[in-house]
Chains A and B, each alone.
Chain A
Amino acid sequence: MVDLRVDDQTVRENSIGRAAKRVTSFIASLVLTFLGLTAITFLISRLTKIDPVLAIVGDKASQAVYDKTYAVLGLDKPLIIQYGAYLKKLLSGDFGVSVLTSQPVLSDLIHVFPATFELATVATIIGVLIGVPAGVLAAARNGRWQDHVVRVLCLFGYSIPVFWLGLVGLFVFYGKLGWVSGTGRLDIGYDDIVTTRTGILLIDAAIDGEWEIFRNAFSHLILPAGILAYFSLAYVARMTRSFMIDQLGQEYVIAARIKGRSFWGAVWVHAFPNVMVPLITVIGLSYASLLEGAVLTETVFAWPGLGQYITRALFNSDMNAVLGGTILVGTVFIGINLFCDFLYKVFDPRLRGP
């Protein structure tokens, strides 16, 4: 038999030890995955058909100049050493210079990131506010019409191409109904009025008290954010539904009902808190995937964010900018992914061990 008489002190020490181990393993997987990501972007930059030497010296340079530049760039060294140099540059924040904007890629990224951040955040907020109650409702009304409606909505969310929904949304709500503004973040004429503090227009406009600009920015934001929110909603509602169905089948829910708790009381007060931990993970994952999904949406809505930056760079063979953007999206994506995984392990009592 296991000795159950463990004093508080030992328990506390054990749990501190475990927490430390968990944090270390979280950081280790973060570092490893980041190394993997940079190794891949490095290989991509070597795979590309654009000759980095030719891009510098031009095609009229003599062979001697070409060879010298080749050596200066370190292209004659073994791949692993080149990768080391590449990593060192990345870590010092040097992503190279964008051919398109002639600015350092890092400062470009800092400039465009807030637009994507604003879009994805508003979309996630809408998605969670609708998706969680919808999922709970579907689970509570399992098998009835409410459940079927939610399930069909989720299924469509998994099947509709986001760029297409964006176009159709633009056609219906902007072209036909005129309820929202068209592409871009602001109407022409509103640009550069508010001072850029956070880069998030809604917040900047609110700080300056420019409510007309706030309204304008909102009417530009709501359609792309709403469309992205639908995809987040589909995922969040589907997962909430399946977590809640699990919980509502448990005996403690019946016990609460027998003790006189109302049906919705049992659902929200007893069952719902138990799904919150896995739900946080799901929301985090959907947030990460929205940052990615924003790439296509931004192209449709001419939203001046990260996605549009990457795709524009792509068509101008601006590999520094493409890879810089990929690393940024990748790092945020990996970070959120692993952090959710970590949170799950920390908060789920079953994974805490004895």
Chain B
Amino acid sequence: MPERTFPEARLTKAAALGNVGAFSELVRQYRAGVLRTAFGILGSAQEAEDVAQEVFIKAWNNLPGYRGRGSFASWLYRIAVNTSVDALRRHRDDIPLDDLQPASKEDLEESVLHRDVHERLTQAIRSLPPGARAALVLREYEQLSYREIADVLAIPIGTVMSRLHYARQALRKKLAPQE
């Protein structure tokens, strides 16, 4: 029997009214995205997991105030980015540097070969200011458009472009000797 899907607007409305089942469906849909975003900003799987839990608790508490202006995804990503940046500021020195892992076994082999590149990239990401890091993560990990990133970060599109440019230039410089 095919799985029934409900319109997102109905799910958010039901969750806002206290329906835990509807909220669990929203969590199922957005868990991976929130985890990736938190991971990209924090660079630690454990931290990302904790932040993602915090994000969804905040979302649950604040859903009654969500009026459906803008997409739910943008609203949730905004909470994710803000919570991750707050966590980053709290635990700036506690995050292990080598927690960024490759995506698959093939990539693992490749990353062994390019361990130096990987470490320099990790360092470069961590040296980015939180705003630039958030823009880069939303673009590269979540594939959001510039307009969506602007909505999430509540900044003009021009600022999104300049943050991305700054972040990519910084990463490119770190990778340059390897090219």
Query: Do the two shown chains form a genuine complex with each other?
Result: no
Interface residues of B (CB under 8 A from A): none
